[in-house]
Structure 1
Amino acid sequence: MKKVALLFGLLFLTIGATNAQTFRGLDKTPMDMAYYPDDYAHDRKFAPAKIGTDKAMVRVTYNRPFKNGREIFGKLVPYGKVWRAGANEAPEIKFYQDVTIGGKKVPAGNYALLTIPNEKEWTIILSSDVDQWGAYSYNEALDVVRVNVPVQKAENMLENFSIQFAKKDAKNVVMYMGWDTTAVAVPIAL
């Protein structure tokens, strides 16, 4: 009986090995996530005292392309054209509560985060068309909000496109987006 069980066990392992999942290689532009409050999901589970009674305000999921010695804005990312603010899929921004961006009300929910970079200012676009690859299927009719923000020079050169949030005061945060030597600051208020 033991021999039969051993035989079936080996047969199962052999069949399982021939049907094993193979994984494709790593993406060249890793996915990242930024929260406000910072590390909210982690701290909610493992360090609740750190976030206290704060509720999540916003989360962005995006892909981080590399500079790799390339000229970024005006060349790789053309001025005056809709850009997905990263690589691959358009970033998805989730507001956990109603907010105001640049004086415009935005209901809680999920949106695609797109931009139109220019030399002196960027247009920040929140679109209801989530789950789109890049900005190739961009449809202006699906815009929920558009705001313009001035371009700033980044304090340090950023090799990867990055998004971070910083607290301004009890009801205001800033979403920073930057790459290479360019940065923009998007004000978000409760």
Structure 2
Amino acid sequence: MKKQLLKYSIFSLLLVFIVSQSIAQGIVFTPQVSGAASVSQHVGITNIEVKYSRPNVVSPQGQDRTDNLWGSPTVPYGFTNLGFGTATEAPWRAGANENTIITFSTDVKVEGKDLKAGSYGLHIAVYEDNKATVIFSNDTQSWGSYFYNPENDALRVDITTQEVAQTDLLTYTFIEATTSDAVLALDWEKKRFPIKISADTPELVYQNFKEKLKGDQGFNIQSWMAAANYLAQNKIHLDDALNYANAAVEGQFFSDKNFNTLAVKAGVLVAMEKMDEAEKVMDEALTMQGVTINNYYAYGRQLISQDRKEKAMEIFKKASKKWSDHWLAPHGLARVYSAMGEYKKAAEYETKAIAKAPEASKPVLEGYLNTLKEGKDFN
């Protein structure tokens, strides 16, 4: 009996030792009640990521907190003493467990206010009147809001909350996203906290071009063309855009004067409102070897969109002489006559285009013809 007790005692001590060592080594044996999650979104070339833990409206003890959540010990209103840690006035942790952390890969604006690239602890002060203050803290290492210190605030913004459908598990989602803006929403119970985030994507892309063109991508003519074209489309840093376009055309080991590089240069000149210079460049581009009717057609359409119908007519007439048997020749003329309001003449050319067009294109052209018969422009 004594031997058995001794064995049991030794086993118990050994078990305590193993468990103690395991805890000391940070081994996790059980999952957290509020599971960890993450969500991310690209806004242009800016990546936004949120890492958080997801509490449930139903407490770990099985209590439904739907009717007693906001303004409760779970989510106190405003700033409160949570009774633990160093914070005497703490906001809500906007999640569970450790800090909710939001990371921006570039500088952004949050609700119109500047915030530098980096990671931030995310907190929210919730109020009774559908108002809330979102806080971005430079402290990302603390547990919840128990050690919140306003001296670490990087930014505070005020938002208006919204009522939404029941969401049991606290959830962050990007409910809107474009190349320059996004709305990050925190939904829990029937309350939504929408946060607008913006990035100056064109400027960020420009800065990215400046760096990339110094490296191996600068050995590729396509990089210079892409940079010039992007800046022209966004009408920013046009002097640099013209330099990039000129580099693609001539003067560098990778340069090549062809239709595409000249067309990019012409596009920059159009953005600079130097129409006469752009026209001269495109006239040269159309003389380059390998130019097709598709190049003429695309340029003619561009001219129509710029309300330069006379020049478009000149281009489409040249295309008709060079490619008289191609269906795009009469179709191009139909487009420019339609833009000029000469619908009857446009219909004549569209009828000729339908006769020459491939079967797959005929239904679309027939739709254009019907529009012309109704006395409307189909451009």
* Deviation for aligned residue 1:55: 3.2
1:67-111 deviations in Å (ceiling 9; x for gaps): 101122111211112011011111111101110001111111011
Instruction: Give the superposed CA RMSD.
Output: 1.9
Alignment counterpart, residue 174 of structure 1, candidates 183, 202, 219: 183
Alignment counterpart, residue 142 of structure 1, candidates 125, 146, 152: 152
The aligned length equals: 156
SS of the residue corresponding to residue 161 of structure 2 reads: strand
Decide which structure has the larger Cα Rg and report it.
2
* Deviation for aligned residue 1:118: 1.0
Hey, what does 1:131 align to over in structure 2? Answer: 141
* Alpha-carbon separation, structure 2, partners of 1:103 and 1:64: 28
Hey, what does 1:58 align to over in structure 2? Answer: 48
Equivalent pairs: percent with the same residue? Answer: 29
Name which of structure 1's ranges 124-133 and 159-168 shifts more when overlaid on structure 2.
159-168
* Alpha-carbon separation, structure 1, partners of 2:115 and 2:186: 19
Hey, what does 1:78 align to over in structure 2? Answer: 76
Hey, what does 2:113 align to over in structure 1? Answer: 104
| Contact map agreement 2:176 2:184 (CA 8 A) in 1 | no
Hey, what does 1:122 align to over in structure 2? Answer: 132
| Contact map agreement 1:35 1:56 (CA 8 A) in 2 | no
* Deviation for aligned residue 1:178: 1.2
* Deviation for aligned residue 1:138: 0.7
One-letter amino acid matched to 1:152: Q
One-letter amino acid matched to 1:138: Y
Hey, what does 1:25 align to over in structure 2? Answer: 30
One-letter amino acid matched to 2:173: Q
- The structure with the greater share of residues assigned to helix is 2
SS of the residue corresponding to residue 147 of structure 2 reads: coil
1:127-163 deviations in Å (ceiling 9; x for gaps): 0011110101111111000001001001x20111111
Unpaired segments ≥5 residues, structure 1? 1-17, 39-53
Query: Could you tell me the TM-score, scaled by structure 2's length?
Result: 0.39
* Alpha-carbon separation, structure 2, partners of 1:96 and 1:80: 30
Larger relative contact order (Cα-Cα within 8 Å, sequence gap ≥ 6)? 1
* Alpha-carbon separation, structure 1, partners of 2:154 and 2:136: 6
SS of the residue corresponding to residue 78 of structure 1 reads: coil
SS of the residue corresponding to residue 141 of structure 1 reads: helix
* Alpha-carbon separation, structure 2, partners of 1:23 and 1:62: 18
* Alpha-carbon separation, structure 2, partners of 1:149 and 1:60: 18
Name which of structure 1's ranges 159-168 and 130-139 shifts more when overlaid on structure 2.
159-168
SS of the residue corresponding to residue 151 of structure 2 reads: helix
Query: Could you tell me the TM-score, scaled by structure 1's length?
Result: 0.77
Alignment counterpart, residue 153 of structure 1, candidates 135, 145, 163: 163
* Alpha-carbon separation, structure 2, partners of 1:186 and 1:23: 34
| Contact map agreement 2:38 2:52 (CA 8 A) in 1 | yes
SS of the residue corresponding to residue 37 of structure 1 reads: strand
One-letter amino acid matched to 2:30: G
